[in-house]
Amino acid sequence: MTTAERPTPRGGVLDINAYVPGRSEAPGAAKVFKLSSNETPLGPSPKAVEAYRTAGGELAYYPDGGSTALRQAIGKAFGLDPARIVCGTGSDELLNLLAQAYLSAGDEAISTRHGFLVYRNATLAAGGKPIVAEERNYTADVDSILKLVNPLTRLVFLANPNNPTGTYLPFSEVRRLHAALPARALLVIDAAYAEYVRRNDYESGSELVATSENAVMTRTFSKVHGLAALRLGWMYAPASVVDAVNRIRGPFNVNAPAMAAGIASLGDPAHLERSVAHNSKWLAWLEENIRALGLKVTPSVANFVLIHFPQERGRTAKDADSFLMKRGLVLRQTGAYHLPNALRMSVGTEEANRLMVAALGEFMAREAARA
């Protein structure tokens, strides 16, 4: 059967490179430390685990299609109007729904050179055209983005902080970007790592959303809340955007155990504070000690570090990845993000962090001896 004789996807779908999650295995290693997916090493709140288990006794019933109790809990925790919140199967679903709602064939969506891969894929899946803005020092550059805005621009995706670089834009720059966008263009602020940021000039985006008609903020329970397995996210948006997304999302897109766990996690701020404190301590420790080995680390405000390796035989990111894998240390390759000479490492437990630095030291010393 020829291609013409079978159903074919519409234009753009086959241009998508399927998203490849972080690896979780290290064949042959006695113990594996998964540092490839930015998961919290402290795990979820015990209260969230208990709520999840309790919800397991009611699996015969459909969940609340409007995620009412969860939206109310989010609104209370962040001081937001629950009516302007939409919950989803991770923030990934919401990013895709926004693309479906606002992109037609030929419309453009801008994201940055090293931005989250889902933006490009969501754009192509919706029939739009992805446009790439260059970054400066691995950081989104407002002027580079604005130079690309034209009458076809409908979405601008901004990860703040960005994955996989860990960099961020001060909120004054986010406001400058938004102010220069035409009213028809929707600024999507992906604040998946907002809880980890400890900078006075950072803001997640909720205030901007509350005072405009063309800005959206997405958030997730997968990172600091430790609920990645449940796929739970939310967005805060203008009423018109909420209405559009609710018209196309699935009627029961969030499952009941996930809702229960999310509500319970929001009710345990002490656990979240411990997770953030652990990250702040070990993020700084990792950056300092990895740099001391002679490697470049992009300054991060998230829960991971981007480590750059020299383009020298035996010392490349690929060589380091192979070396670390044999020791059970699984990092994220970043070639798909146009960063072939880097690896991304999640902040792990104290044991994993110390083993990682020791292994990197061994790797660099071995290659130095060979030189």
pLDDT digits (tens, 9 = 90+) for 187-240: 999 999 999 999 999 999 999 999 999 999 999 999 999 999 999 999 999 999
Query: Tens of pLDDT along 70-92?
Result: 999 999 999 999 999 999 999 99
Q: How many CB atoms lie within 10 A of CB 25?
A: 11
List all residues 6 or more positions away from 137 whose beta carbon is below 8 Å from its beta carbon.
167
Segment 345-357, tens digit of pLDDT: 999 999 999 999 9
- State which amino acid sits at residue 247: R
Task: Read off the pLDDT band of 62 (50, 70, 90).
Answer: very high
pLDDT at residue 370, as a whole number: 63
- For the entire predicted model, the pTM comes to 0.93
Reported as a single tens digit per residue, the pLDDT across 227-284 is: 999 999 999 999 999 999 999 999 999 999 999 999 999 999 999 999 999 999 999 9
Q: Where residue 30 falls among pLDDT bands split at 50, 70, 90?
A: confident
> For residue range 120-133, what is the model confidence (pLDDT) as tens digits?
999 999 999 999 99
For residue 46, count other CB atoms closer than 10 A to its CB.
11
For residue 314, what is the enclosing H or E element?
none
The CATH class, in words, for 46-267 is alpha beta
Domain boundaries, the chain: 3-43+270-370, 46-267
129 beta partners = 108
9-18, 38-47, 100-109, 224-233: the lowest-pLDDT one:
9-18
Question: pLDDT tier at 8 (50, 70, 90 boundaries)?
Answer: confident
pLDDT digits over 88-120, tens only?
999 999 999 999 999 999 999 999 999 999 999
Alpha carbon distance 276, 172 (integer Å): 24
Confidence label for 2 from pLDDT (cuts 50, 70 and 90): low
Residue 141's pLDDT is 98
E strands, 200-328, are 215-220, 233-236, 296-298, 304-308
How buried is 288 (Cβ within 10 angstroms: 0-12 exposed, 13-18 middle, 19+ buried)? Answer: exposed
Residue labelled with tokens 């034209």: 150
Q: What is the DSSP string of 317-347?
A: HHHHHHHHHTTTEE-EE-GGGT-TTEEEEE-
Closest Cα partner for 222 from 300, 133, 116, 324? 116
Please tell me the CATH code under which domain 3-43+270-370 is placed. Answer: 3.90.1150.10
Question: 87 near 234, Cβ under 8 Å?
Answer: yes
pLDDT bin (cut points 50, 70, 90) of residue 17 is confident
6-20, 102-116, 156-170: range with lowest mean pLDDT = 6-20
Phi, psi values for residue 305, rounded to 5°? -130, 145
Q: Report the pLDDT value the prediction gives residue 4, as an integer from 0 to 100.
A: 67
CA dist., res. 16 & res. 126, Å (int): 11
Q: Looking at residue 367, what is its pLDDT?
A: 58
**pLDDT, position 369:** 60
Q: Say whether pLDDT at 23 is over 90.
A: no
Count the Cβ atoms, other than its own, within 10 Å of residue 84.
19
Average pLDDT, the chain: 94
pLDDT given for residue 371 in this prediction: 57
In tens, the pLDDT along 304-322 reads: 999 999 988 889 999 999 9
Mean pLDDT of the region 24-43: 87
